[in-house]
Structure 1
């Protein structure tokens, strides 16, 4: 983590959040308590800031300064509101093409997906505030800078984003092996949002219940799954193929 992309110290992080600094994630030492930490937790929850508990050794690797049990990463980008994202794309006259990532957690996978999404003309990426991969130096590097060229939206809940897209006339398609439907047999040549799941759990079952369609990639080898960034690329380029 670059020094200019981090804030350390509980009070400093509280003030940064309250001043409107775009915080991507806060790392909290597992066993730290006290009134100031309670205040930080309250402020983070009010602002829906992504955080996780980590051992002190991880914080010490971030900084040699007195971090007081808390280190925050500053996002290198700003985030857009989902209402504005959808409205702007529809108003532009383009056929909407969105990507939803359901709690993808690896920053390098995230960066690789952003790169592919930018190359395939995705209009915006939607992620959840809690549990999603951070937008950090690794994300920027593996995206080859594409993170600066595509709108990214953070939402409180993926299901709410799906309902919003559906109400706007955008079909939601979940990439999952829990279906008999092949990706090559469904229509993607229409307003669409592709949904990809996390590396270990896939798409949340509650999300699968509300999507318009489910689709999978055909698998012919002995290994039963693909890396999520590879699978995402296949889904995005099938959308491009159908629209070409």
Structure 2
């Protein structure tokens, strides 16, 4: 019996089988959960990737900035599951001019897009799925990248991640009375499609090679995914508003 036996889990952000979200979906199934995925823009690709899971998972179209999609989400999920116990938010986006060393010149429109998609959508998704949780509540887990410091080239996405961390804390406060936990996994860099689009991403590799005391493999999304699975399980029943670092220990090291 797995630690998610009988759980019903919605996973967003599966684009390729190299993504953290794909590893989360795979591990969730292996640990006994029923999984539904969401995708946007490239549903045929997401469906092909979903077929590579241990058990094929249905895919729901979801643009987290689209109010109609959010309003329809509970009904769409109920076509496959009778409720939810866990939700994974693995969604982030910043326009090209919000990244790559353009911090001082990025226009508000691009900043607003980065914050909306990467942080505000965490609240939007949580509110959309809240009616699907039962009286025992459940767990919402988001994917983070350490916002305690400024990173080269990350610019307004770093600000958006800081907003995500604050958003999770406020959701923990407001959804806690319903038994719904909100936590984030702050993962080390992984060579996903999204990460490769960050200008200067290759600079992170040297940092983690030098500073991770227990090592870090940028080609392996499973450690971060295992952190998500732990937070989705019943093994953290009183943990909420937390940011769990799964980064090889880099966040704790000095120069």
Shared fold per TM-score greater than 0.5: no
More strand by share: 1
| TM bracket (short chain) | 0.3 to 0.5
Q: TM-score, normalised by structure 2?
A: 0.34
> Rg larger in 1 or in 2?
1
TM-score where L is the length of structure 1: 0.35
Give the helix-richer structure, 1 or 2.
2
